[in-house]
Amino acid sequence: MPSSSEERELLRQRLSRRRLLKAGAVAAIGAAGIGLAACGEEEGAAPPTAATAPAVATASPGPIGSPAPGSSSIVSLAGNPQAIAEVAPGTLFFPYFGNVIAFLTDDGIVLVDTSLASNGEQIVQELRKRTDLPINTIIYTHGHLDHVGGTEYFLKDADERGYERPRIIGHRRIADRLRRYERMAGWIKFINSIQFGVPIEPGFEPPPTPSFVYPDVTYDERTSIEVGGETFELIHGMGETDDHTWVWAPQRNLVCAGDFFIWACPNVGNPFKVQRYAEGWADGLEAIAAQRPALLLPGHGPVIESEAQVQTACLDTARYLRSIAEQVVERMNRGQWLEQILREVEPPADLVDRPYLQPIYGHPKFIVQGVWRQYGGWYDGDPADFFPAPTAGQSAEIVKLAGVQSILARARDLQTVGDLTLACHLVDWVRKAEPENRDAWQLWRDLFQARADKEVNMMARNTFRGAVREAERHLA
C-alpha cells in the first residue's frame, strides 16, 4: 500500500499539466477555425464544423503582413488550417468554429470558450483523448453562440465522471445578451438566414425559446483567478460585443483574444446586428499588444506565434480601425452626412493587403456605418426622408413618369457597361411599382447573381443570393 506521501505524489502526477494521455499526438480534423465568420454568428447560425469545413488556405503565405505569392488580395488565413495541438506546454488548442483553448494545471483544466453546440460533443471527445483532468473553470470570452454553445457537453462530461461542476466566468453583460437572444429568437433566425445564406420559407414560425448556460460568476472591468498556482487575468473590452473578455496568462506568456482577432477585417457595423465598437476594439488590441505575449490564440483562425508577429497583427488592426473611426468623426464634425462619408472614407493604404484584414466578413464600409451609428442618428440628411412616402408609392410615380420599358432598357444598358449597382436601383423601382412584372424580376435575378458571383464579402454575397432566391420565387 502506498504511503501518504506516495499518494500525494500520484495525485500530483494525475493532475499535472504534463499528463497528456497521448503526449505529442495531434488529431487531424480538417480545416478548422476558418476565421471569416465567426464573429457574430452568435445567434443560432450553423456554420460548418471544423471536421467538415472546406480548407480556406491552400498554401502557406509568408510572414504576417506579407501577401501570398502571386496574390494581391488575400482571403486565406496566414497558414494552412491547423489540427488540434499542444501549442505551448500544457496548452491545448482546438481549432473549431470557434476555437476552444484548454489550459492544463495542477488543479484541473481552465477552458476558454466552448464553441458551437454542434461542436461540443466532438471537442469533449478530443479533449478526453488527451487528458482526464477535471475541468475547473470555463471562461466565456463573450456571449456569441459559437463561443458558449457547447457548454452543456462539458458539464455533462463532468457529471458522468463524477467531477465537480466547473464554475463558469464571464463579463456581467453576457446575461443580458443571452436574455435578448431568448426574447428575439424569431428575428435572429430571420436575419441569420440572410447573413449566412441559409434559406427559410417566408412566413416561418419562430423557433422555440433557446436555453443557455449562464455564467456563475461575473465581473465588470477586470478580474483574475488562480488555478493550480497560476494566474489568469480576465480583461473586459468593447469590441465585437459589449461583453467581451480577453484572457492574459502571464506565466505562459500568451493571450486568448476571443474575437478581438478573427483573421479578417473586424466585424464592426455588421448590417444585421446590434452596435459594435471600432475604437473599443482598437483599445483592446493595443492592450493585448502591451503585454507583449509570445502567442496569441484567437477566437477564429490559427495561432499567431512569436512576439513580433503578435505585435504586428494587433497594432496593424488597431491602426486600421482607428483610422476609419477618426475619419468618420472628423467628417461628422464638419457636418457631412453618411452618404458622402461612405463614399470618401478609406482604410490606410498600406494595410489593405494584409492577409488578416481582408473584407471577407467585416468590411471597411461596415466600420464606417458602425461609427456613424455609435455617434449619430438615423437621419440621412434628406428632409424628404424624415417622414417618407412608402417606397412602393415613390416607385410607382417614377415608373409612371419614365415608363417601365425605358427604365428596364436603361438598366440593361448599365448592366452591359458593368454598372450593376445603379442598374439594381432602376430595376427596384419597377419591381416595387409592378410586383408581377416578370421582366423586372428576371433582370433583378440576373443582376444580383452577377454581383454575388464576384463579391468577396460573405455577408454581401449572401444578401445578393437572397435577392436571387426572392426573384426565383416570383418567377416560379
Per-residue model confidence as pLDDT tens digits over 222-260: 999 999 999 999 999 999 999 999 999 999 999 999 999
Is 466's pLDDT higher than 70? yes
- State residue 201's pLDDT score: 80
Contact 237, 282 (CB under 8 A): no
Q: Does residue 109 surpass a pLDDT of 70?
A: yes
Which of 20-29, 112-121, 399-408, 450-459 is predicted with the least confidence, judged by mean pLDDT? Answer: 20-29
Give me the pLDDT at residue 203, please: 80
Q: Is the pLDDT of residue 19 over 50?
A: no
Please report the pLDDT score of residue 206 as a whole number: 85
The residue type at 224: S
- Cell 444580383, residue? 448
Half-sphere exposure of 133 (CA within 13 A, CB side): 31
Q: pLDDT category, 177, cuts 50, 70, 90?
A: very high
Average pLDDT of the residues of the chain: 86
The predicted-structure confidence for 434-443, as pLDDT tens digits, reads as follows 999 999 999 9
pTM of the model: 0.84
Map residue 87 onto helix, strand or coil: strand
What is the per-residue pLDDT for 157? 98
Question: Quick one: how many helices (H) and strands (E) in the chain?
Answer: 15, 13
Of the pLDDT bands very low, low, confident and very high (cuts 50, 70, 90), residue 207 is confident
What is the Rg, in whole angstroms, of the alpha carbon atoms belonging to the chain?
Answer: 25
Mean pLDDT value of segment 336-356:
97
Whether pLDDT at 56 is above 90: no
pLDDT at site 82: 66
